[in-house]
Amino acid sequence: MKNHGAGIIASAAAVVAISVLAIPAAANPSLPGGSDAPQASVTEADGSVLVTGGRTQSKDPTAWNYVEPTRSFGTAGSVPMDASGVGYTSPFQYEFHGLMLGIPTGIIGHQVYGSGLTVTSESANWGPTLTGTPAQICNYQWQFQNRYGSRHYSTLIQPLQEGCWTTLGFKGNFDARYTASHKRTMKTGLLCARLYVNGTFRGEQCHNVYP
């Protein structure tokens, strides 16, 4: 497994819809997408949602299946499932309840545990690159996504973390952490930890996954 850091959208965004994905209460509801429509079901005790099938897109950064148009999909080599890596996020601004909040350069930490193509636990966290640098992050949400090219295999979506938190750096008092212990079988391709803030994609860190 090799890891890939990613740059992100640095432009300001006025967000209307905060939730990344609106899921009906019924199990396995169909989501928009035609004959190749993805399916969603609640899988974790905390209400996390697993979406399977469908395709990625590069037009709407508020959607669960958004992938940056410059993302590289190349894969090479073979390494064990257990892996950790970091990716850097560019500064960005966002509007929250009429206030424009600025976020400095940050780091996404991504840890994967398992064997072969089986993931037994996965976690991600974020914080400003410089310890002691204050940043206020509101309504954040993590995704763990398995994909290859434009083909989407699965995405585990954390429940929306409503409210605001202040962090003083990657090793500071808050790091926007999420851990999923749901056992999942991956497909060969990328396994990415993806951060959404106030409803908009802000960056990801990816590992190459192989048997």
Q: What is the DSSP letter of 57?
A: B
Residue 27, pLDDT score:
29
Report how far residue 199's alpha carbon sits from residue 14's, in angstroms, rounded to the nearest whole number.
10
Q: Which DSSP symbol is given to 11?
A: S
> Helix (H, G, I), strand (E, B), or coil: what is residue 140?
strand
Q: What is the pLDDT of residue 3?
A: 47
Rounded Cα–Cα distance for residues 125 and 197 (Å): 13
In degrees rounded to 5, what are phi and psi of residue 152?
-100, 125
- 9 vs 175: CA distance, rounded Å: 20
**Rounded distance, CA 168 to CA 132, Å?**
4
With H, G, I as helix, E, B as strand and everything else as coil, classify residue 17. Answer: coil
Do 106 and 87 contact (CB within 8 A), yes or no? no
pLDDT at 200: 93
pLDDT of residue 36: 56
**pLDDT at res. 132:** 76
Q: Tens digit of pLDDT per residue, the chain (211 long)?
A: 544 543 332 222 222 222 334 333 222 333 333 345 678 776 667 788 889 888 999 999 998 889 988 754 333 333 446 788 888 899 999 999 999 999 999 989 999 998 889 999 999 999 888 877 888 889 999 999 999 989 999 999 999 999 888 876 655 445 678 888 878 899 999 999 999 999 999 999 999 888 7
pLDDT given for residue 29 in this prediction: 30
Give the domain ranges of the chain.
3-19+28-209
Instruction: Give the separation between CA 206 and CA 190, rounded to whole angstroms.
Output: 6
> Do residues 74 and 190 lie in contact, with contact meaning Cβ atoms separated by under 8 Å?
no
Closest-CA residue to 161 (of 180, 142, 135): 142
Which pLDDT tens digit goes with each residue over 147-193?
998 999 999 999 999 988 887 665 544 567 888 887 889 999 999 99
